[in-house]
Structure 1
Amino acid sequence: MLALATLIEGFGTHPAAWMHPRTRRGNATDIAFYRDLAQLAERGKFDMFFIADTPAARTSNLKVWSKFPMFMNQLEPITLLSAIAGATTHIGLGATCSTSFFEPYNIARQFASLDHISGGRAAWNVVTSANDFAARNFGLDRLPPHADRYAKARESMEIVNSLWDTWEDDAFVFDKENAVYFDPGKFHHTEFNGDYFKIHGGLNVARPPQGKPVIIQAGASEAGKDFAAETAEIVFGTGHTIEAARAFYVDLKGRMARFGRTPDELKILTGMSVCVGASRQQADEKFRMLQELVHPDVGKAILSFHLEVDLSDLPLDEPIPLDILPKTGNLHKAFFDRLVKIIRETRMTLRELYRSYDRGTPTLCGTASDVADQMEEMYRSGATDGFMLTLNAMPGDLEDVVSGVVPELQRRGLFRTDYTGRTLREHLGLKRPVNRYAGAVPA
Structure 2
Amino acid sequence: MSAQQGRQLKLGAILEGVATDHSTWRDPALPGDASIDINWYIENARLAEASKFDFVFIVDSPFITPDTAPHFLNRLEPLTLLSALAVSTSKIGLVGTLTTSYWEPYNVARQFGSLDLISRGRAGWNVVTTGLEGAARNYSREDHFEHSLRYRRAREFVDVVQGLWDSYEDDAFPRDKVSGVFLDKSKQHALNHKGEFFSVAGPLALSRSAQGQPVLFQAGVSEEGRNFGAHIAEATFAGAESFEESREYYADLKARAAALGRDPDLIKVLPGLAPIIADTDEEAKAIEEARRGAFDLEKLLVQLGRLFNYHDFRQYPLDEPFPDVSGLTLNSYKGHAERVIRIAREEKLTLRAAAHRFGLWRTEFVGSPKTIADSIEHWFTGHAADGFILRVARPQDFALFREKVVPLLQQRGLFRKDYDHSTLRGHLGLPVPENRWTRAARLNLAAAE
TM-score range, shorter chain: over 0.9
Per-residue CA deviation, residues 224-281 of structure 1 (Å, 9 max, x unaligned), is 1111111110012243222222221111111123322111221111222211112223
**Residues of 1 paired with 2:299 and 2:328: CA distance?**
24
Q: Provide the secondary structure at the position in 1 that maps to 2:275.
A: strand
Match in the other structure for 2:4: none
Per-residue deviation, 1:348: 3.9
**Residues of 1 paired with 2:32 and 2:362: CA distance?**
29
Contact 1:277 1:366 in 2 (8 A): yes
**Residues of 1 paired with 2:54 and 2:98: CA distance?**
20
Contact 2:230 2:257 in 1 (8 A): yes
1:231-250 aligned at under 5 Å gives the runs: 231-250=232-251
The answer to whether structure 1 residue 10 and structure 2 residue 12 are counterparts is no
Letter in 1 for 2:48: A
Per-residue deviation, 1:359: 6.4
Match in the other structure for 1:401: 401
Letter in 1 for 2:413: G
Match in the other structure for 2:430: 430
Letter in 2 for 1:168: E
Per-residue CA deviation, residues 355-413 of structure 1 (Å, 9 max, x unaligned), is 3435674363211111111111111112221112234x332221111011111111211
Q: 1:396 to 1:11 in 2, by over 3 A?
A: farther
The answer to whether structure 1 residue 112 and structure 2 residue 113 are counterparts is yes
Contact 1:335 1:359 in 2 (8 A): no
Per-residue CA deviation, residues 124-143 of structure 1 (Å, 9 max, x unaligned), is 00000000232111012232
**Residues of 2 paired with 1:312 and 1:141: CA distance?**
26
Contact 2:304 2:359 in 1 (8 A): no
Match in the other structure for 1:179: 180
Percent of paired sites with the same residue: 40
1:196-275 aligned at under 5 Å gives the runs: 196-275=197-276
1:64-213 aligned at under 5 Å gives the runs: 64-65=67-68, 68-213=69-214
Contact 1:328 1:337 in 2 (8 A): no
Match in the other structure for 1:27: 34
Per-residue deviation, 1:306: 1.8
**Residues of 2 paired with 1:233 and 1:251: CA distance?**
15
Q: 1:248 to 1:171 in 2, by over 3 A?
A: same
Per-residue deviation, 1:287: 3.4
Q: 1:417 to 1:437 in 2, by over 3 A?
A: same
Q: Provide the secondary structure at the position in 2 that maps to 1:379.
A: helix
Per-residue deviation, 1:206: 1.1
Contact 1:238 1:248 in 2 (8 A): no
Q: Provide the secondary structure at the position in 2 that maps to 1:282.
A: helix
**Residues of 2 paired with 1:279 and 1:2: CA distance?**
24
Letter in 1 for 2:274: S
**Residues of 2 paired with 1:324 and 1:254: CA distance?**
32
Letter in 2 for 1:141: E
Q: 1:288 to 1:48 in 2, by over 3 A?
A: same
Q: Provide the secondary structure at the position in 1 that maps to 2:192.
A: strand
Letter in 1 for 2:191: T
The answer to whether structure 1 residue 52 and structure 2 residue 52 are counterparts is no
Larger mean CA deviation between 349-358 and 123-132 belongs to 349-358
Letter in 2 for 1:36: E
Contact 2:193 2:199 in 1 (8 A): yes
Larger mean CA deviation between 299-308 and 402-411 belongs to 299-308
Per-residue deviation, 1:326: 3.7
Letter in 2 for 1:249: Y
Q: Provide the secondary structure at the position in 1 that maps to 2:73.
A: coil
Per-residue CA deviation, residues 20-51 of structure 1 (Å, 9 max, x unaligned), is 22222222211110001101111111111000
Larger mean CA deviation between 323-332 and 130-139 belongs to 323-332
TM-score between both structures, scaled by the size of structure 2? 0.91
Per-residue deviation, 1:57: 3.3
* Consecutive unaligned residues in structure 1, runs of 5 or more: none
Per-residue CA deviation, residues 292-342 of structure 1 (Å, 9 max, x unaligned), is 3433321111112224543122233x0344434447732212211222233
**Residues of 2 paired with 1:3 and 1:169: CA distance?**
29
* Consecutive unaligned residues in structure 2, runs of 5 or more: 1-7, 445-449
Q: Provide the secondary structure at the position in 2 that maps to 1:418.
A: coil
Contact 2:57 2:96 in 1 (8 A): yes
Q: 1:83 to 1:378 in 2, by over 3 A?
A: same
Letter in 2 for 1:47: D
**Residues of 2 paired with 1:89 and 1:33: CA distance?**
17
Q: Provide the secondary structure at the position in 1 that maps to 2:435.
A: coil
Letter in 1 for 2:27: H
CA RMSD in angstroms, aligned pairs only: 2.1
**Residues of 2 paired with 1:225 and 1:439: CA distance?**
29
Contact 2:19 2:71 in 1 (8 A): no
Match in the other structure for 1:418: 418
TM-score between both structures, scaled by the size of structure 1? 0.93
Q: Provide the secondary structure at the position in 1 that maps to 2:201.
A: strand
Letter in 1 for 2:41: Y
Q: 1:105 to 1:268 in 2, by over 3 A?
A: same
Letter in 1 for 2:111: Q
**Residues of 2 paired with 1:257 and 1:149: CA distance?**
24
Larger mean CA deviation between 327-336 and 197-206 belongs to 327-336
Contact 1:190 1:200 in 2 (8 A): yes
Q: Provide the secondary structure at the position in 1 that maps to 2:415.
A: coil
Q: Provide the secondary structure at the position in 1 that maps to 2:193.
A: strand
Per-residue deviation, 1:208: 2.3
